[in-house]
Amino acid sequence: MPEPDILVSEVGPRDGLQNIDAVLPTEAKKRWIQLEAEAGVTEIEVGSFVPAKYMPQLADTLELVSFARAIKGLSVAVLVPNFYGAKAAVEAQADKMSIPFSVSETHCQRNLNRSHDQMFAEIDQIVDMLSLLPKEKRPHFEVGLSTAFGCSLEGKIADEKIAEIAEKVIAAGCDEVGLSDTTGSANPAQVRHLIKLVRSVVGNDKLTGVHLHNTRGLGLANALAALEEGITTLDSSLGGLGGCPAAPGASGNIVTEDLVFMLESMGLNTGIDIHKLLSVRQTLSETIAGESLFGFTAEAGLPKGY
Ligand code: ZN
């Protein structure tokens, strides 16, 4: 199998499930993860190390990490809200962990109960912990710049602020920053602009992924703009589940099925079998009956001869 051109990183089991009321049984999540890996998805964010009292839907993250680690070729990602979460991720031996650093301080307070200064301190503490570990035990540590394209509480955040945070966390020793459109406010011109801006301060190799939501229907247009700027990792969610409980009005991620259809139709290799992926969606829809799934490809079917 040739190396994929684009890494499609499935975030549904985390971003998706934190936003639905139902708590999906652990066995159903395992099945979802297993089937998506079998469809060729090579990175899955399986959960978040947040205290179960805040997010009971994700209370089984530890078990899911250990399950997913046993799947050959799968990179297991988790979200961590703070140092304790990062410690749990290291102990669980996740391959990748990302901490959401909201560039909007109001959202940062509301989401993680931390000021920006406290976030920098938290990140220093995490980097110190990682530096004591042998290299093979260190998960890839990414800082996701949340609300980078606009915040539903504060509005648009100044470029200078975003660049300053990106520069500081990379200087602190994080492996990478990502740009997250938490509230689905981005447009393609802004996507291009922010990628260029952040890369100009941290370097191209320190920003390779974006996390987009489809709240206003611009998700795939934004993904295309990011690709054209040389981004190689795109987060998406099966059936477009997702949102952010602390950001009013935030809704689903870009839809994995539609994203894979777009990329593969353009001749880009994702390593994912779309037929299998569509059948995973079918299984998921039966499991979370009552929740709406989004996406056009599944509704319309694949074009004749595809
Ligand atoms: Zn998200």
pLDDT reported for residue 1: 64
Q: How far apart are CA 90 and CA 295, in angstroms?
A: 35
Q: What is the 207 CA–ligand 1 centroid distance (Å)?
A: 17
User: Strands 209-211, 140-146: parallel, antiparallel or unpaired by DSSP?
Assistant: unpaired
Distance 184 CA to ligand 1 centre (A): 9
For residue 42, give both structure tokens. Answer: 């090579």
Question: What is the distance in A from the centroid of ligand 1 to the CA of 215?
Answer: 11
What's the pLDDT at 288? Answer: 86
- 244 an active-site residue? yes
CATH number assigned to the domain with residue range 7-300, chosen from the 4 options 3.40.30.10, 3.20.20.70, 3.40.50.300, 3.50.50.60: 3.20.20.70
Q: Which residue has tokens 């989004």? A: 294
- Ligand 1 centroid – CA 149 distance (Å): 12
Res 244: pLDDT:
63
CB atoms within 10 A of CB 113: 12
Ranges of residues in the chain with a pLDDT under 70 are 1, 243-250
Q: Tell me, in angstroms, the distance from the centre of ligand 1 to residue 142's CA.
A: 14
Reported as a single tens digit per residue, the pLDDT across 67-123 is 999 999 999 999 999 999 999 999 999 999 999 999 999 999 998 999 999 999 999
Could you tell me the residue ranges of all domains in the chain?
Answer: 7-300
Identify the pLDDT of residue 249.
60
- Scored b (16 or more CB within 10 A) or e, 21-44 reads eeebeeeebbbbbbbbbebbbbbb
Length of the chain: 306
Query: What's the CA-to-centroid distance between 13 and ligand 1, angstroms?
Result: 11
Give me ligand 1 centre to Cα 140, in Å: 19
pLDDT given at position 241: 87
State the residue for tokens 């059936």. Answer: 239
Separation of 54 CA from ligand 1 center, angstroms?
A: 17
- Say how many Å lie between the CA of residue 243 and the centre of ligand 1: 5
130-137, long-range: CB < 8 A, 24+ apart: 130/86, 130/90, 130/173, 131/173, 133/90, 137/90, 137/93
